[in-house]
Amino acid sequence: MFPPRSQRILLAVLAASALLSAVSGRLNPYFLDVALGAGISVVLASSLNLINGFTGQFSLGHAGFMAVGAYASAMLTTTLAPRLGLSANLLQWVFFPLSLVAGGLLAALAGIAVGAPSLRLKGDYLAIVTLGFGEIIKVVLQNVDAVGASRGLTGIPNHTNFFWVFGSAAVTVYVVWALLNSTYGRGFLAVADDEVAAEAMGLNTTRYKITAFVVGAFFAGVAGGLYAHLKGYLNPGGFSFDKSIEIVVMVILGGMGRHSGVVVAALLLTVLTESLRQTGAFRMIVYSVLLIVLMLTRPQGLFVWPLWPKKEARP
């Protein structure tokens, strides 16, 4: 059904990240942290791209889904894992990915819970509903003592490594890509292009929207789990509205509904905030100026072929 080339690319990326994972121990821990952070951003941005870019919905709740996945998987590895008495290897290579999937599934469930009642809304209205959902998740976490409340959840084992991050990123990009290039997946684009027309053609638009939400939320949950086991500490404050906006910026800058552009934007923006540390107090000013410059010069997306069109072919 899919061109085998895409599967070959997926396998190649998986193999490459496994190889890199073997040598990443020699990498400077700071660079490794930035690289893994960038990989997690790819998962977040690509999954949001399915909702905001391809399906044309406007979600501001991605950080909320991420929080659900992060806390769920962290609770599994901090409370359940020690009781099972597994070896370190089993924990890292079997239990951890299972806990990531569990976190993703719980986030997907949250996706249904938010999506089902609210996807009848459009545009700005949907944005506000998802924004509210994200804030609810944050406030609930801030008040549940079992997960550390506002003090935060500590002592999360550092299972996240190169393979899990870039493996998840590759799978996310592949799944979104393959979904959209399937017969079923064309429906997402139809919903984005013209919802009324899509409905007239017999597409169940609500179902498409919920599917986009569920798949997007699943991967956001996985990203949350990766984040939790990278930082070793979770605080509800880290999943605020700002975090959702950060992901939305990656999607918009990369070009709504562009696969590679969004990946590049996620990598670039994460690395950029870190590399601008040397500008000291001007860091966020320089960052914002760069965002404005990029938006003005590449409104069609960061990575659209040909990079410098001879004739204007902008949408």
Partner 1 sequence: MNPSDSGPHSRRRFLTLAAVSAVLAGCREKEGDPAAQAIRIGLFGALSGSEAGLGQYTDMGATLALEEINAAGGVLGRRLELIREDNRTTAGESATAVKKLLSRDHVVAVIGDGNSGRCLEAGPLCQAAGVPMVSPAATNPKVTEIGDCVFRVCFTDPFQGAVMARFARESLGLSRVGLLVDASAPYSLGLASVFRERFAAEGGTVVSEQRFSGGDKDFRAQLTALKSAGIEAVFAPSYYHSGGLILRQARDLGFAGPMLGSDGWEAPELLEVAGRTAEGAYFPVHFSPENTDPLVVGFLDRFRRRFERPPTGVSALAFDTLQLVADAIRRAGSVDSPAIRTALAATREFQGITGRISMDSSRNARKPAVIIGVRDGAFRFLRVVDPGDPGRASS
Closest C-alpha among 198, 220, 219, 221 to residue 209: 198
Closest C-alpha among 303, 307, 191, 209 to residue 258: 303
Residues with Cβ within 8 Å of 203's Cβ and at least 6 positions away in sequence, in order, are 187, 190, 191
Q: Decide whether 25 or 123 has the Cβ nearer to partner 1.
A: 25
* Footprint on this chain of partner 1 (rule: CB under 8 A): 28-31, 33-34, 37, 150-152, 154-155, 227, 230-235, 237-239, 242, 268, 271-272, 274-278, 280-281, 283-284, 286, 290, 293-294, 296-297, 308-309, 312
- What is the C-alpha separation between 104 and 98, in angstroms, rounded? 10
Give me the least distance between CB of 290 and partner 1, in Å please.
6
Q: Decide whether 2 or 31 has the Cβ nearer to partner 1.
A: 31
Q: Decide whether 195 or 246 has the Cβ nearer to partner 1.
A: 246
Give me the least distance between CB of 146 and partner 1, in Å please.
13
Give me the least distance between CB of 26 and partner 1, in Å please.
12
Tokens representing 249?
């910026």
Q: Which residues, in sequence order, are bridge partners of residue 153?
A: 234
- What is the C-alpha separation between 110 and 204, in angstroms, rounded? 21
Burial label for 79, CB within 10 Å (0-12, 13-18, 19+), is exposed
Residues with Cβ within 8 Å of 241's Cβ and at least 6 positions away in sequence, in order, are 60, 63, 131, 134, 135
Q: Decide whether 106 or 265 has the Cβ nearer to partner 1.
A: 265
| Alpha helical stretches, state H, 119-204 | 123-143, 162-180, 186-193, 195-200
Q: Decide whether 55 or 270 has the Cβ nearer to partner 1.
A: 270
Q: Decide whether 124 or 312 has the Cβ nearer to partner 1.
A: 312
Give me the least distance between CB of 263 and partner 1, in Å please.
16
Give me the least distance between CB of 274 and partner 1, in Å please.
6
